A and B are shown apart, each in its own frame.
Chain A
């Protein structure tokens, strides 16, 4: 069964749709959602080695897509488990919440398998619209309505870049007479450096960079992190970005390797992204907002793997985004646990976390140090591979700026650790994280360390996977 994960998601969504019609449905909804998630995870693992083409070759199942599907289901599973209590979501809309969550996941899974422009567009929109709806579902207990503002921003920017992407796609179709990526790539191979091609691919890239939250398409990101409930923010911070990298790599593969000017443009944007994200993160009080800006910076880092337009760089980018998924999930796990009623925790709220819950403090510290790029964690190895690749291809200046950014960013990551380990907890109560979140925290810590210490195998798999994109 080639598309078992997608079918499971679709079935789960359908069930949830009917559940949402009933009254007092939150228990059933949660049970159905959990069941679906576990089934999805199992299916993703089982389907990892499969390959084939479906739907008139517009839908490809290969190692590349299956790895991303595995990552997406892992992200979903983690969020579902540590966010099981859904503190920020009213019980009335639970079924709808899970429904949109699954639709978004379904869209993302389809996106990584799509190798035809229209399929890709439809899948992307499926995930985007579900995500737009997830944001305002937050319980409005505080009466701030920040979630409404966030979702409006998300929607407006999203629709705008979708338009740009469609325009770019029309150019691609006009230039090549086909909507299949394989055909497009073949026909562009001689004319990759032509301005029309560059403009077309760049416009398509815009939409993907928007998903990734890269400068200058980042405006939605901090607001959405802050406005969405903690669980939603955890999902949006981690999972769509993984899919976005898959898309970026597919788009980048359309460039012929001699289109170095595009690499330079992306490089400039990547540096802007790092500086913008890191500098603004320095002054944030709300930890989710801080992570939002840090996410912008990380989008810049991961793009260092794309600018060299080579497989080694793509593999590093895949490795990095995998690490980023794990690190971000670890951060948000702690955020969800510390937030008592689903409110946004400020950085101060982590005061003395070391005494209130040692394991959560350790999880937070590992995640923060990893995000900062301190060895032996995965964030360092990822950054190291990206920097090594960029320097090998002559981007010395870029690499120095990225290194300087590491030094800037350490301050705000460290101040979270500082608060957790040295600040006085005051009258803050111990954090009662259940067994499941703690177990997941432990798993994430292990993943952060193991991926950082023994990256060889992961990098190899990523290398095999990206070969399928550029060689298709």
Chain B
């Protein structure tokens, strides 16, 4: 257990993982809808508060897993309940705990039927998402990874839009089919190492063929979750049909699990295979960036537009990860957080319009700048953040990713540049139509500006947009040591110059 700093004080990680679950159990006993909303808000806020000491007490100089807890779980197979956070997972954990209260707030009036069940699903989602980010045991990780499909499926299938059945089934089948081989890979690693500890599987000397197969099994599961082009087709359907909170969770947190999986599993466990497949993945990332950008440009449905923009943004993240230098990876990780904040906020914005007009079409939301000044102010800032305007959070992330890519390979990086231009094109197109799109919108009489609750939902996200934009240091510091450690783990296995894999890169 040399990888884990055991926490002997208050078990913060167990608390944040299981509090929402306990809250969900209590939730089932609540009969009143309003009480259910308040209770869910209370639970998520408490979890967020409990998670804050993680940031304060985190030792940024150590690449070890901190706040660790380890207990026997299934002795027969040496399966343990082991959790811990390092620089890679800490920010994701914090982002999850901070976004969940906003999700509850954002669905306050959006969800009118079966409020209690909805909140139960949200709380179970929170438990399993935090479990995924904290897990240091393969079995616990896999259980949390799969268990979240059920509440997410229900969120889309029950509270979703008109094509919810199709979207929810597609989401479930796609993600489940991707992860069945992940289980086989996990067991194969167990057979090799005799333990299910995730860190114990890193840095072992596996044969090249073994690495290739394990990498591919991991890759399939994570690439579908990200989603990388060409595995992205479930995403627009699920995003569009999900209720607002569902879209926010999907975009902000679920997609990050794929990229988190790359960082936590693919890179350190199968470094040789990572180098082998790196060129192909870089090109897929570029394809995703361009494809997502062009497709977003053609959308009339605001949610679809943002969904496709996610494909592009996540392309930047995978690009940053697989250039395999510390600048690129740090940029990718920052971009994961940025995308969570910005895209989450944009989905909240769309949800607020949808509550008023019951339409997600851009043409039903044109020219509302005069009537909803608060709303368009928020929308403008989040849109600028989405297109990586200097001064906002995404600029820092994208800049680091591109800087890392240029250091690795100029051609690939240059190919990704049009993606940034496309982002400006589709976001400004949306913004221009919504704010100044002309007064002939028939929906206008029914519109009213944001309520206090809605402002409270969006404001924290806006704070982070500028905080990260102007002063990214506190966020980068946290990940620095862990990323360097990760890069060192991978770098030993770099192939000799002129090897076959590198031929795919000009």
Contacts and interface: CB of A to CB of B under 8 A. Distances in A.
Contact of B184 (A391, A414, A423): A391
A407 B176 CA distance: 7
A105 interface: no
A463 B76 contact: yes
A463 B147 CA distance: 27
B173 interface: yes
A164 B500 CA distance: 59
A460 B76 contact: yes
Nearest to A354: B158
B202 interface: no
A27 B183 CA distance: 52
Contact of A456 (B74, B149, B158, B177): B74
A391 B183 CA distance: 11
A155 interface: no
A375 B176 contact: no
A414 B169 CA distance: 8
Contact of B73 (A369, A456, A460): A456
B150 A391 contact: no
Contacts of B158: 354, 421-422
Chain A interface, DSSP helix/strand/loop, else mixed: helix
Contacts of A375: 142-144, 146-147
B157 A455 contact: no
A422 B187 contact: no
Contacts of B139: 384
Nearest to B196: A388
A18 interface: no
B76 A456 contact: yes
Interface stretch (A37-45, A242-250, A267-275, A396-404): A396-404
Given A411-B173, A456-B73, A374 B150 contact: yes
Contacts of A407: 173, 176-177, 180
Interface in A352-393: 354, 365, 369, 374-376, 380, 384-385, 387-388, 391-392
A260 to B, nearest CB: 18
A374 B183 contact: no
Contacts of B154: 421
Interface string B143-184: 110110110011001100000110011001100110011011
A123 to B, nearest CB: 31
A406 interface: yes
Contacts of B188: 391, 396
Interface in B368-408: none
Contact of A380 (B143, B173, B177, B181): B143
Contacts of B73: 456
Contact of B191 (A380, A391, A404, A423): A391
A274 to B, nearest CB: 13
A384 B139 CA distance: 9
A369 B188 CA distance: 25
B190 interface: yes
B243 to A, nearest CB: 14
A414 B170 CA distance: 11
Interface string A393-428: 000100110011011001100110110011100000
A459 interface: yes
A391 B187 contact: yes
A131 B187 CA distance: 40
B77 interface: yes
A422 B149 contact: no
Contact of A459 (B74, B172, B190): B74
Interface in A310-344: 312, 315
Nearest to A372: B176
B75 A392 contact: no
Contacts of B177: 407, 410
A67 B490 CA distance: 51
Contacts of B76: 312, 315, 456, 459-460, 463
A460 B77 CA distance: 11
B241 to A, nearest CB: 11
A388 B77 CA distance: 9
A400 B173 CA distance: 18
Interface in B174-226: 176-177, 180-181, 183-184, 187-188, 190-191
Contact of A414 (B144, B172, B183): B172
Contacts of B144: 375
A205 to B, nearest CB: 27
Contact of B180 (A404, A411, A415, A422): A404
Given A385-B77, A406-B180, A456-B73, A418 B168 contact: yes
B180 A403 contact: yes
B144 to A, nearest CB: 8
B187 A414 contact: no
A369 B148 CA distance: 12
A399 B173 contact: no
A319 to B, nearest CB: 10
A374 B146 contact: yes
Contact of B183 (A354, A403, A422): A403
Interface of B: 73-77, 139, 142-144, 146-147, 149-150, 153-154, 157-158, 164-165, 168-169, 172-173, 176-177, 180-181, 183-184, 187-188, 190-191
A-B complex: 8 closest residue pairs judged by Cβ atoms? A375-B143, A407-B177, A403-B180, A456-B74, A391-B187, A375-B146, A407-B180, A422-B157
Given A387-B187, A388-B77, 4 more contacts: A384-B187, A387-B183, A388-B190, A407-B180
25 contacts: A315-B76, A374-B176, A375-B142, A375-B143, A376-B143, A384-B139, A384-B187, A391-B188, A396-B188, A400-B181, A403-B180, A403-B184, A404-B180, A407-B176, A407-B180, A417-B153, A418-B157, A418-B168, A422-B164, A422-B168, A423-B165, A456-B73, A460-B75, A460-B76, A463-B76
